[in-house]
A = this chain, B = another copy of it.
Amino acid sequence: MKTVPISQDAEPESISAYGPARSTVTTTPLNAEDIRKMEAYFRASVYLCLGMLYLRGNPLLKEPLVKENLKARLLGHWGSDSGQVFTWMHFNRVIKKYDLDALYVSGPGHGAPAVLSQAYLEGTYSEVYPDKSEDEEGMQRFFKQFSFPGGIGSHATPETPGSIHEGGELGYSISHAFGSVFDNPNLITLTVVGDGEAETGPLATSWHSNKFLNPITDGAVLPVLHLNGYKINNPTILARISHRELEALFFGYGYQPYFVEGSDMKTMHQAMAATVEHCVLEIRKFQKQARDSKKAFRPRWPMIVLRSPKGWSAPRDVDGKFLEGFWRAHQIPITDVASNPDHLKLLETWMRSYKPEEVFDKTGKLIPELRALTPTGNARMSANPVGNGGLLRKPLHMPDFRDYSLPDIKAGYSFLGSMVNMSKFLRDVVAKNMTNFRIFGPDETESNKLGEVYKAGKKVWLGEYFDEDSDGGNLATEGRVMEMLSEHTCEGWLEGYILSGRHGLLNSYEPFIHVIDSMVNQHCKWIEKCAEVEWRAKVASLNILLTATVWRQDHNGFTHQDPGFLDVVANKSPEVVRIYLPPDGNCLLSVTDHCLRSVNYVNVIVADKQDHLQYLNMEEAIEHCTKGAGIWDWASNDQGCEPDVVMASCGDVPTHEALAATALLREFLPQLKIRFVNVVDLFKLINHGDHPHGLSDREWISTFTNDKPIIFNFHSYPWLIHRLTYKRPGQTNLHVRGYNEKGNIDTPLELAIRNKTDRYSLAIDAIDRIPSLHNTASAARERLLNLQIKAKTQAFDNGIDPDYITMWRWPYDRVKPDGQ
């Protein structure tokens, strides 16, 4: 019953997944009786996994297996199931022994059968879904629903009790796990990382999350790297490097890796029991040390390397071809069971080798001595409320955003920083919610003018400190801002933090947010699906604040210009996505307040961080943001009559230029009747039938008219407006200007001119779209063109726009007579 101490030198022999257990920890906490029960529990678990893959009838194999018992289409994955089951059940033992608060994150792809089997054996599944009861009939339904039309998928989808991590797209298990334990000091999130997943970039860097974990105020993650050796059709890298390299790699990442390797069941149970217990005691020891001393430090956190055969406990070969311990065990292990009677027999023999009749009673219920191995109530990882974080979510204590208003705004004169002002509000949101709100960002929070938040909570940093850090470093072991130059990790942390019941905001440069397109997609899908799962409580919205926007990336050039994240988001379900482009500082405050209070959305806010003209006082801003889109009377002169043209805008810089164009038009062509419309909430543009925020066609007409030219200046690619307004009345009169893909080093004005989003181009555009002006406005048109050329020339010669401030300031004084 002894395990073999692991050899430090032998390589590559030591990287085999076969043989008696080899392990770093060699204590033997289990007696023979314990091991007997462990083996039985393992058998019950993997029997359920196979049942999910294959059976729609005869769930306990009380009858001989016939092909009519099989699902018509076999779907699902076997590869990582046994290793995950093994890991989960061993944690159960220490949960019970040490009264742990624990959550399980399943990283390997398509490993749901493992997780589902545990939820079912622990009784949680039947509590949540009473028709999947703990009896033969329930088991049959439980099997059939898996990867079956109308049923559940092969990942730990939202329907899975205890899951906050679906894992459909690989790479985020570790960052999600860390997100769940921040500010959860008692929680240990046991996280199985697949060795396929471990090859992804996001996973590879997320190991460094340990430099951001405070052992006093945060919980701990216990990663289990599951080296089962194979992906779909390939070996994995980490399973094919030497033991020394593997150990060094994780030491280098800051962990103490504990190895458990082999295939022999009895010794593997002993080794895993010893190792898991040792790791938990290490975690507890480090936490106690830090908490007793009140000195946070970065311990060498433990992690486990579990090397076991892929598809462990399957037949080693079938018809002379490797199954267990090879990539063929990845998905359905034997595929032709319906057509090949020998293989059907093989499957039956295999399934019966788990002795279902021994581990389940006649009614189909797990026998009591095995049930006694599981924790009870919320101690079950499948029932931990953290896994249904909405239950734990408390609304934020919100300061009144009105208290942070930019006061006495004179529309088009006041010139202030919207973002830097909003950061004071954000600072106080942090201050009032010191244990359940964090700000995340890839090294750009200060650059994004949000540095004020450090006054309430510094940047978490558990790396080494230098003396020079006191010179404005804003680092602290206990902080509220999380900065690592990995958008993936920041987003993963935030998702984990939200899904475990807390609140947060990610700030990022707009051009690089595409880095996490796919992550945001997956989160949208998660929360959309959650809304259909009755027992899932609503979680806080995922808030993404984008700045360093395309219109101010003139000098950084082409690679920093891409506003297309909005297109990605707009493809997601209208149930879950919201996009806001506040035109000024008070609108930014109002929108941010709204987003932080909301639940179950992905909110995207796009706002420039530079100083800007301001337009609305707070009450006006609230009204405007509440409407989401509306006429700005103070900038319009069509009161009491039909406008000749509608000037419209969405986004702060585009609004600025559209207003300047309006001013120019009103100066040069005072007879012209202009209506100015601003859109804050992008989805106001869609028809009400397609998005809950959408304007009705009647509202649309009363705002935009149905027959007048609309010159619409937009922040992002113009196509997005066209697709949102598809089939709107008067749609053919809509002329959208926005960003087009073309790279140069420019001044902001040149950039705008090249994209025809500058004041002069817009004004000329309007003139050209108004038939009545075709013969009368040629002088005005000429003047506008000359102004544009002059501005452009000056910019080119000097490297800055002619009058840098005025460039961004609305020359509203020129049209004062009609104005406010």
Contact = CB atoms under 8 A, between A and B. Distances in A.
A717 B571 contact: yes
A556 interface: yes
A177 to B, nearest CB: 16
Q: How many copies does the complex hold?
A: 2
Contacts of A465: 240
Interface in A775-819: 795-796, 798-800
Interface string A444-456: 1111000000000
A619 interface: no
A130 interface: no
Contacts of A772: none
Contact of A446 (B206, B232, B717, B722): B232
Interface string A492-513: 0000000000000000000110
A36 interface: no
Interface of A: 12, 15-16, 56, 71-73, 75, 147-155, 157, 166, 168-171, 196-197, 199-206, 208, 211, 231-237, 240-242, 244-254, 321-322, 325-326, 443-447, 459, 461, 463-466, 468-469, 471-473, 475, 483-489, 511-512, 514-515, 517-518, 521-522, 524-525, 528-529, 555-560, 562, 564, 567-568, 570-573, 717, 719-720, 722-723, 726-727, 732, 741-747, 750, 795-796, 798-800
A75 B205 CA distance: 31
A518 B512 contact: yes
B723 A235 contact: no
A486 B512 CA distance: 19
A112 to B, nearest CB: 10
A235 B203 contact: no
Q: Which 4 A-B pairs have the closest CB atoms?
A: A168-B559, A249-B252, A201-B201, A240-B463
Contact of A517 (B231, B517, B744): B517
Given A486-B199, A557-B153, A235 B525 contact: no
A329 to B, nearest CB: 11
A351 B656 CA distance: 40
Given A169-B512, A237-B463, A468 B201 contact: no
Which of A154, A235, A251, A471 has most B Cβ within 10 Å? A235
A713 B559 CA distance: 35
A798 B72 CA distance: 7
B485 A149 contact: no
B248 A251 contact: yes
Given A168-B556, A169-B559, A235-B461, 6 more contacts: A154-B555, A201-B204, A232-B444, A248-B249, A515-B517, A573-B742
A201 B168 contact: no
A119 to B, nearest CB: 18
B197 A485 contact: yes
Nearest to A576: B741
Which of A15, A244, A249, A465 has most B Cβ within 10 Å? A249
Contact of A525 (B149, B488, B559, B567): B559
A685 to B, nearest CB: 12
Contacts of A571: 562, 564, 567, 717, 719, 741
Nearest to A463: B240
A404 to B, nearest CB: 23
A246 B732 CA distance: 61
Contacts of A517: 514-515, 517-518, 568
Which of A211, A517, A747 has most B Cβ within 10 Å? A517
Contacts of A166: 559
